[in-house]
Amino acid sequence: MGLFVTCLVDLIRPAVGFAAVKLLEDAGCTVEVPTQTCCGQPAFNSGDRKTTREIAEQVIVAFEPYDYVVAPSGSCAGMIKTHYPELFAGDAAWAPRVETFCGKTYELVSFLVDVMRVSKVAAAFDGTVTYHDSCSGLRELGIKAQPRKLLASVQGLTLKELYDSDVCCGFGGTFCVKYPDISNTIVTKKAEHIAETGAGTLLAGDLGCLMNMAGKLQRLGKKVSARHVAEVLAGIDEPAIGER
């Protein structure tokens, strides 16, 4: 299968990519990483259909040979699965290809649980975590039970549910830099809810949201570490996001 590592993981936190590789290999997959850039979502959400389409074609050509395409992000997988068809609608040459492509594209944790039928992982984590349901994964792909199912199998880990875990963290891709003050108000509330759980670690399935929440928690001086859920499931023990 082809790992679509996502641009943020590629640039900011390779550990998530290696965690994904470990989880997929443990589940019996052969993982390859073709040369890649981005899924096109920033262009798509900025109204630039032409650039989005170019990028989408590039992604499809690069990943088409694989049985599955897996991304450690509900946002990027959601972009491909739910929005690529719109880009190619009415294009007789591409539309069937895109349909097949979308059918084999998955977000990492839901792929492990729903397709590879993984029900437990061989990892240990000593501590209490809380979990934020990132919007695209939750609402575009219906990811909610899968990460909780696998987290329940991590030895020593306690999950304390987050109030309003399904409410946006205020990241929103370019939104957070286009409307920084509004984004700040939203993420401040989120950071307060996270701190109220008393958990020492925040987990989520999308690096964008995690960087936003981690950055706010750190700015507020809250003692909560943030990690991608794949890192904990894979038992990878790198310094948490923004820590050393």
Sheet with 105-107, strands from edge to edge, namely 2-3, 69-71, 105-107
In what side-by-side order are the strands of the sheet with 225-228?
Answer: 155-159, 124-132, 201-204, 225-228
Stretch that binds other proteins, among 92-100, 102-110, 153-161, 164-172 (CB under 8 A): 164-172
Is residue 33 part of the contact set for other proteins (CB under 8 A)? yes
Rounded Cα–Cα distance for residues 32 and 21 (Å) = 9
Q: How far apart are CA 9 and CA 207, in angstroms?
A: 7
Closest CB to other proteins among 20 and 154? Answer: 20
Alpha carbons 116 and 150: distance in angstroms, whole number: 13
Rounded to a whole number of angstroms, the minimum distance from the CB of residue 117 to other proteins is: 26
Told to check if 97 binds other proteins by CB under 8 A, we report: no
The residue whose two tokens read 């790198």 is 238
51 sits near other proteins (criterion: CB under 8 A): yes
3-state secondary structure of 169: coil
Kindly state whether residue 42 participates in binding other proteins, applying the rule CB under 8 A: yes
Q: Determine, following the binding rule CB under 8 A, whether residue 237 of this chain makes contact with other proteins.
A: no
The single residue among 172, 194, 205, 230 that binds other proteins, judged by CB under 8 A, is 172
Stretch that binds other proteins, among 11-19, 109-117, 121-129, 229-237 (CB under 8 A): 11-19
For residues 191 and 240, give the distance between their C-alpha atoms in angstroms, rounded to a whole number. Answer: 16
Q: Are 99 and 80 in contact (CB under 8 A)?
A: no
- Which residues within the stretch 122-151 sit at the binding site for other proteins (CB under 8 A)? 135-136, 139-140
Q: Which residues bind other proteins (CB under 8 A)?
A: 5, 7, 9-18, 33, 35-38, 40, 42-49, 51, 54-55, 58, 86, 135-136, 139-140, 166-168, 170-187, 211-212, 214-216, 218-219, 239, 241-244
